[in-house]
Structure 1
């Protein structure tokens, strides 16, 4: 027999009155961006920034339009400055953004990922056009939409500063902000680079890719075997010993036996069911040059480079995306 349900005792009025109210978080003033000659206060979360209207209006059409509107007579003020509450923003993003708008010194260093993400997010939301253009250009240079541009940056981070050991977090942050600001053309190169930096000896599990949406997570996971399949039918077809006729040895081969043995040796060195030694967009491995005669080397390179072009054109489809032309047309610019 089940126990009868216990009756809940109702709280008395005295008990209800004695319970403490939730503590309110006090507002704080920014120590760095509270200008004495400021005439507008931006409140982000529980932090207030006292800034200058004319500076904000010069860079942002959103603020320019906002400040052109007449203010209600009962608008709250602090030290005779109107307070504008910016909902949905973070103090960290605004502190980073204002550090660029009001620099304390001239810097030629590359921006780190946190700064770039903050700049992209706020410059899109408030139409800081000049800041947005520079950040978008930098992100597109790092993750381009042409193979020629990709070859420039494929050796590592070139236009963004990333601390050693923070590759994965950086990739995921950039994917999230690219989705947020509708910058679709950078996604294929981003996904592909993530796969090449996984560092796993087997296809990673879904849980191994944190911080991004399920859509982006699945795109990476589904793209992994597809990339390997694409590689077999593009850049590495010259290694196919079962093709008729065989690509290598070539028709003009000087040393057929040596070149045939070289193909088998290279094939065994690059083939792997889980982690490829070379990726389909990798540049030609110069170590292969010494394995074959000059005629076979030339033929193999032609097939390899043509395969890279084909692979690049098909890269968006690998991750379930539209083609390059359509992706670029979707960019918010």
Structure 2
């Protein structure tokens, strides 16, 4: 097991660089702590036992005697952690020291912070929980997708899908990208995600992700017209044996007008069936329309990765680094 990043030591012949004043964490400075972690200009006073219980890296590090000239504060060794941020450490420590029994749904920032640090310091339990939540929220099978409503496992926040797409690429969790992208392109309302993508105003959204969504939006419109929404073809519905053809035909024209009256065509390739659609359709026409729709959903799901320029589902799962 590799040891933790070594403490920074400044050479005596180097000029003193400008530094931010050191500050103690207001939440994670424990009087009975026996180790101080310095992250940028923020110091956390913690216990070796707690860190060792969660992190194999810290456990191994604390088994090695510290050098005699190790900096100390109030007799506590100070270990500087390079490459980390105080924000990520606040997220990680918030998981280690919960303030309540039920923590609820994590934010995207919490997930990102815990995932980065739990990998660096080998904290498997927290990492496994974050990965499980991401895979459950953005599943790789249609069956799992239909089990829960959106945002069952992660807190819904403004523009959350953009940082989650970046996070998926950062940690190598490729199998969640298709559903993240789908939710982006399917959100076309006044304040929808897709409006920001098309207007290039999405903050923190990479060119790779932006192009994938723009191309996927066009491809999904074509795909759903040939699959899930192909039941709107008046040559298919009303069915040949329909006994209420005038009523069913009237309902079909109404649905088509409503769908095409939107400012921008909606993506509904893997959406659930809308109950209003069959309000005035006879039983025979409804049954046929539902069959076409459900068969189309399965086809759209199977092709979902490819419309965004990604490998097939099985290959995406093999590519996952987690």
- TM-score w.r.t. the length of structure 1 is 0.83
Q: String of CA shifts for 1:108-134, please: whole Å, max 9, x gaps.
A: 432233222222222222221111111
Count of aligned positions: 304
* Higher Cα Rg, which structure: 1
Distance (whole Å) between structure 2 residues aligned to residue 282 and residue 258 of structure 1: 25
Output the CA distance in 1 between the equivalents of 2:162 and 2:118.
Answer: 20
The match for 1:233 is 226
Of 150, 153, 156, which aligns to 1:162?
156
Alignment of 1:282-321 (within 5 A): 282-321=271-310
Give 1:273 shift. 8.4
Say yes or no: does 1:143 pair with 2:138: yes
1:49-103 CA-partner distances (Å, limit 9, x unpaired): 1111222122112222333344344333333333222222211111122122012
- Partner residue of 1:95 out of 80, 90, 95: 90
The 4+ residue runs of structure 1 with deviation greater than 4 A are: 200-204
CA distance in 2, matches of 1:307, 1:270: 18
Counterpart residue number, 1:173 = 163
- Give the superposition deviation at 1:22: 6.7
What's the CA shift string for 1:211-235, capped at 9, x where partnerless?
1221112111221111111111110
Alignment map for 1:42-191 (pairs within 5 Å): 42-154=37-149, 156-163=150-157, 166=158, 168=159, 170-191=160-181
Q: What is the CA RMSD across the aligned residues, in angstroms?
A: 2.3
Superposed displacement of residue 177, structure 1? 1.7
Residue 275, structure 1, aligned to residue 270, structure 2: no
In structure 1, what is the Cα distance between the partners aligned to 2:172 and 2:62? 27
2:4 paired residue number: none
Q: Is the 8 A contact 1:120 1:177 kept in 2?
A: no
Gaps (5+ residues) in structure 2? 1-15
Deviation by residue 1:296-329 (Cα, 9 ceiling, x = unmatched): 1101000000101111111111111111111112
Query: Residues of 1 paired with 2:104 and 2:305: CA distance?
Result: 32
